[in-house]
């Protein structure tokens, strides 16, 4: 059933069950479930499995439940994972379009790009996407202009580089490792390079195409860097255990784009909470289900000032850090 038909039926049911329309605040769309004649179907696709993307997915489902959309009652989820394979991602996109799902949650840039190539009609909420404009998914963050909108995980890259400088005060060269095939990673790295140069420091980079290349790239990078910065890169995030092992052996701290990467082997981060990002994405999805137009829904985000420092990594590296950062040191449970 199309989203338009679902909304029409919902309106009829609502008229039968209530004398007055549901109240809204300041003229905004209601963010709770309205009566549905049939369950709506939401396709969820993520490019790969790692803690940040998993948290965004879980936050979305939790947010939908809090808004009254209960799985098996008034919503059905078709959850798919491409496991990093582009051809599988294309197949998933075709599946959603052919099955005429009512709405799609696209987790990470490659997922949204695959969906965008298949449909301009099905509403799409993106999440864990750094720059919608750099990925050519929207006309602008303020007015997307099409069937795609969502939440951004744009991190405070400059603040993250400053955190690296503050934690490793004698650093002269900052190493950068990322996938050059990910538009969002390139976007973040360019900001990082400019910040590093403005601070009068040097950078050294290594790029990878897949997780199999991370080991060699890290072995090379630790020989020339004093501290390593890793953006919210899906390829490297999937290989953080390798990153942590090699960096640990070399005594090099790694500053990452988000806390899940710290739990998986990194040293520290200042970033956003991906579960909260997923919850915010659910709010947007409910608005769309209740009639909002994705073309005019601005891209949204959550605060990115959460500092996390791994106690285990601190002990393993034998590092000393300024006293002001000690309250942020915590024992993290390794991500599965």
Q: Would you state the pLDDT for residue 18?
A: 36
Residue 186: strand, helix, or coil? helix
- Domain assignment present for 73: yes
Specify the number of domains making up the chain.
2
- Give pLDDT tens digits for 281-312: 999 999 999 999 999 999 999 988 889 999 99
Same domain for 137 and 278: yes
Q: Would you state the pLDDT for residue 333?
A: 72
- Domain assignment present for 98: yes
Average pLDDT taken over every residue of the chain: 89
Question: 117 lies in which domain range?
Answer: 3-153+274-296
Distance between CA atoms of 251 and 192, rounded to whole angstroms? 22
- Do residues 231 and 270 touch, judged by C-beta distance below 8 A? no
Estimate the crossing angle of helix 274-289 against helix 51-66, to 10 degrees: 40
- Do residues 188 and 182 touch, judged by C-beta distance below 8 A? no
Same domain for 164 and 68: no
- pLDDT interval class at 4 (50, 70, 90): very low
Same domain for 70 and 34: yes
Q: Would you state the pLDDT for residue 323?
A: 95
Closest CA to 149 of 276, 31, 292: 292
Closest CA to 43 of 132, 146, 112: 112
- Do residues 195 and 231 touch, judged by C-beta distance below 8 A? no
- Give pLDDT tens digits for 54-64: 999 999 999 99
- Give pLDDT tens digits for 112-158: 999 999 999 999 999 999 999 999 999 999 999 999 999 999 989 99
- Do residues 85 and 250 touch, judged by C-beta distance below 8 A? no
| CATH for 55 | 3.40.50.2300
- Domain assignment present for 336: no
Same domain for 278 and 210: no
Sole residue written with tokens 């002001």: 324
- Domain assignment present for 335: no
Residues 6+ positions from 158 with CB-CB distance below 8 Å? 191, 192, 195
Full-model pTM: 0.79
Burial of residue 255, with CB atoms counted within 10 A of its CB: 0-12 exposed, 13-18 middle, 19 or more buried: buried
Same domain for 323 and 199: yes
> What stretches of 107-173 show up as alpha helix (H) in DSSP?
109-116, 157-167
- Domain assignment present for 74: yes
């Amino acid at each position: 059933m199309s989203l338009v038909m679902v909304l029409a039926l919902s309106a009829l049911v609502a008229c039968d069950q209530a004398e007055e329309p549901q109240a809204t605040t300041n003229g905004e769309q209601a963010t709770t479930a309205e009566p549905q004649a049939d369950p709506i179907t939401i396709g969820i696709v993520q490019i790969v499995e790692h803690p940040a993307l998993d948290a965004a997915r879980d936050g979305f489902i939790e947010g939908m439940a809090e808004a009254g959309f209960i799985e098996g009652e008034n919503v059905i989820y078709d959850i798919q994972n491409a496991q990093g394979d582009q051809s599988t991602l294309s197949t998933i996109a075709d599946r959603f379009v052919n099955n005429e799902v009512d709405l799609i949650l696209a987790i990470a840039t490659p997922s949204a790009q695959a969906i965008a190539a298949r449909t301009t009609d099905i509403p799409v909420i993106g999440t864990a996407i750094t720059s919608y404009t750099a990925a050519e998914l929207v006309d602008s963050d303020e007015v997307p202009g099409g069937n795609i909108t969502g939440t951004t995980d744009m991190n405070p890259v400059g603040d993250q580089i400053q955190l690296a400088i503050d934690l490793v005060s004698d650093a002269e060269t900052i190493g950068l490792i990322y996938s050059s095939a990910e538009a969002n990673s390139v976007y973040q790295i360019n900001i990082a390079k400019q910040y590093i140069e403005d601070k009068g420091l040097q950078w050294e980079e290594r790029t990878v195409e897949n997780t199999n290349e991370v080991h060699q790239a890290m072995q090379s990078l630790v020989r020339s860097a004093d501290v390593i910065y890793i953006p919210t890169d899906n390829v490297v995030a999937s290989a953080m255990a390798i990153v942590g092992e090699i960096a640990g052996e070399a005594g090099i701290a790694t500053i990452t784009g988000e806390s899940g990467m710290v739990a998986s082997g990194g040293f520290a981060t200042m970033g956003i909470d991906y579960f909260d990002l997923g919850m915010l994405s659910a709010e947007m999805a409910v608005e769309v289900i209740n009639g909002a137009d994705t073309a005019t829904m601005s891209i949204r985000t959550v605060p990115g000032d959460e500092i996390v420092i791994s106690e285990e990594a601190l002990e393993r590296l034998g590092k000393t850090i300024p006293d002001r950062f000690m309250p942020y040191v915590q024992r993290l449970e390794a991500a599965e």
